[in-house]
Chains A and B, each alone.
Chain A
């Protein structure tokens, strides 16, 4: 079943995911953040589709479709709509300058390879390579969350982390049991909706969604 075309496709999609990680860190505009996240989710969906084709497991197709529909179309639009509605400034406002951020992310990607090396060969055959990239995506997503000022960028970082987790699921076990997979999608979607609701409320109360204005609670 190890068709070399599929292998190439899987590797290409994984490469796109890693590339978008870096571009997310490098991008300075809110619009491009959501675009890049959409592209990343599209690549994730494509990867899932190839895996579904290879393993002939229908349920993975559903994951591919959901991932494209929700994460590549609905959620990015929803976030764009929100940022427009509450008139967020268009700049990303990084707390760490972009060249420095990129260096840190390169280090994180190396760390991901280093950490996953001992368990790489335990992953399934055609997606084994993706494990390191999934870890890199998780780490870079976390970095995005802590290094950007806006509350909305925290939410996007979280979504990137979740993409990484999904990639890990595909890399290690092809997918999760159907009911779990659907539940996870549901939670992610509801989570985004709730975060947007809070973003609106925060904006109304503080007149900005700058996460640095959320520093009132201290010991």
Chain B
């Protein structure tokens, strides 16, 4: 079953590769693929949330993987739907060739395939292979436009993330070394075996390993100061890809870090060591993100720095720990993915219309594209943590956890920075939404179909802000149990 779900996007990718005649045919395949992804991923998540982990040989889905599956399949589904209108517009108006369209969907599904692979494997080594594969595939999507700047971004992305991931491999080997004497060669990297023997693992190797893994995968999460590839890659890639990078890929890397964090919590090292490191990197990311958000001139980079901020918040939540810290951070992973995708889709519409990424040059979206303007404002208010949207809920949970755990200074800093970012972010966005549009700018949305996934997202973050479904909150609760209850 797990294999079928994992291989599905790969199959769709291959089919897209073979269709080289008509764009409509490729688009139809992509839509069908998106639906299958949503249904299969959603089914897996729901049934794991309801009935507990699936374990099939080298594949394993527990509640944490299920949460990731949910994010991958839902955001993936919407990103593909949005791609249809976005890429079609580029194909028809900007001269993106049929071959490029085919290449785009092939890579997109391949990218989704590698991300699914990250979360369904029971072997930490295979997790590593899959994370590296996500970089290799998505580098093509980052460099999609083949211009100087996008090639630069892709190259930086490839090199920086590969170095990071090499360090993560070193960390994986350390953890393997801590277990090989007890578990033997075959199961020494198996997550379930590692967890069962957690208290016997060598603590100094584990500590060493975790530091390397955190720096390594942390590069991919976008934690400062290893974040330098992120604003470039997010701003240069096509907008639907930016949404996937920001909303899904960063979470997948965070998932890899969490596996090790959970392992350390259960071992004789205890959770304190890894939590403190997560808290530290989280706070650094928040500070760096705030600084660059204030001075930002490019709205896609603005969103990218906001992703660094939110990865920082998630990291801080796990760093604080305790029930609310972990629950809040998990919920925040989902909330950030949904909200940031909405924002990148809106930014995509703005980019297609205004043909510039400069904040200064974009004025009066409210006049030119009223629907996009409303959705962009909703997204901006939501991402900066305004009630009643869902990001607000999870940010409050993390804050509560901070006070509960007695980390008063860290919590005060956390609140202060979030307030600063709110002000700076909203100032940028409101300048873009209001005011007089540039001369000669025609009224009208870029595409009506493209608004649909955005409306779905806006509705979801609003509903989730008001009411958390029992199924989801029970699922998150059982993930918190994985962290040792706390």
Contacts and interface: CB of A to CB of B under 8 A. Distances in A.
Interface of A: 118-119, 122-123, 138, 142, 145, 151, 154-155, 158, 161-162, 165, 168-169, 172-173, 176-177, 179-180, 183-184, 186-187, 190-191, 194-195, 198, 201-202, 205-206, 214-217, 219
Contacts of A161: 163, 166
B128 interface: yes
A194 B292 contact: no
A216 B152 contact: yes
A194 B208 contact: no
B148 A216 contact: yes
Given A158-B162, A180-B189, 4 more contacts: A142-B163, A155-B159, A191-B136, A205-B148
Nearest to B207: A119
Interface of B: 58, 123, 125-126, 128-129, 132-133, 136, 139-140, 143, 146-149, 151-156, 158-159, 162-163, 166-167, 169-170, 173-174, 176-177, 180, 185-186, 188-189, 202, 204-205, 208, 231-232, 235-236, 292, 295-298, 301
Given A190-B136, A214-B155, A219-B296, A184 B123 contact: no
Contact of A122 (B125, B126, B139, B202): B202
B169 A184 contact: yes
A7 to B, nearest CB: 20
Contacts of A165: 166, 169-170, 173
B166 A172 contact: no
Contacts of A202: 151-152, 155
Contacts of A151: 155
Given A179-B126, A217-B149, A172 B155 contact: no
Contacts of B129: 180, 183-184, 186-187
Given A177-B189, A205-B148, A216-B148, A168 B173 contact: yes
Nearest to A169: B173
Nearest to B187: A177
B139 A194 contact: yes
Contacts of A123: 177
Nearest to A203: B151
Contact of A180 (B125, B133, B180, B295): B125
A172 B204 CA distance: 14
16 contacts: A145-B163, A158-B163, A161-B163, A169-B173, A173-B180, A176-B125, A176-B189, A177-B189, A184-B128, A194-B158, A198-B155, A201-B151, A202-B151, A202-B152, A217-B149, A219-B296
Contacts of A216: 148-149, 152
Listed residue (B136, B149, B152) with the most chain A CB atoms within 10 angstroms of its CB: B152
B128 A180 contact: yes
A195 B173 contact: no
A158 B148 contact: no
Contacts of A180: 123, 125-126, 128-129, 189
Given A177-B186, A219-B296, A205 B151 contact: yes
A198 B159 CA distance: 11
A180 B154 CA distance: 26
Contacts of A205: 146-148, 151
A136 to B, nearest CB: 13
A176 B132 contact: no
A162 B166 contact: yes
B281 to A, nearest CB: 19
A197 to B, nearest CB: 9
A172 B179 CA distance: 11
A167 to B, nearest CB: 10
Nearest to B169: A165
Given A161-B163, A168-B170, A179-B125, A217 B153 contact: yes
Nearest to A214: B152
Nearest to A154: B159
Nearest to B146: A201
The 7 closest A-B pairs by CB, nearest first: A180-B125, A183-B129, A172-B177, A214-B152, A187-B132, A217-B232, A169-B173
A198 B158 contact: yes
A196 to B, nearest CB: 11
Nearest to A211: B155
B154 A198 contact: yes
Contacts of A119: 204-205, 208
B159 A158 contact: yes
B143 A198 contact: yes
Listed residue (A123, A151, A187, A217) with the most chain B CB atoms within 10 angstroms of its CB: A217
B136 to A, nearest CB: 5
A189 B139 CA distance: 15
A10 B473 CA distance: 55
B283 to A, nearest CB: 20
A176 B162 contact: no
A187 B147 CA distance: 26
B133 A187 contact: yes
Contacts of A187: 129, 132-133, 136
A169 to B, nearest CB: 5
A138 B174 CA distance: 15
Contacts of A219: 231, 292, 295-298, 301
A198 B136 contact: no
A157 B242 CA distance: 29
B151 A177 contact: no
Contact of B177 (A145, A173, A191, A217): A173
Listed residue (A155, A162, A190, A198) with the most chain B CB atoms within 10 angstroms of its CB: A198
Nearest to B233: A217
Contacts of B231: 217, 219
Contacts of B297: 219
A184 to B, nearest CB: 6
Listed residue (A145, A172, A173) with the most chain B CB atoms within 10 angstroms of its CB: A173
Listed residue (B132, B205, B296) with the most chain A CB atoms within 10 angstroms of its CB: B132
B132 A177 contact: no
Listed residue (B128, B149, B163) with the most chain A CB atoms within 10 angstroms of its CB: B163
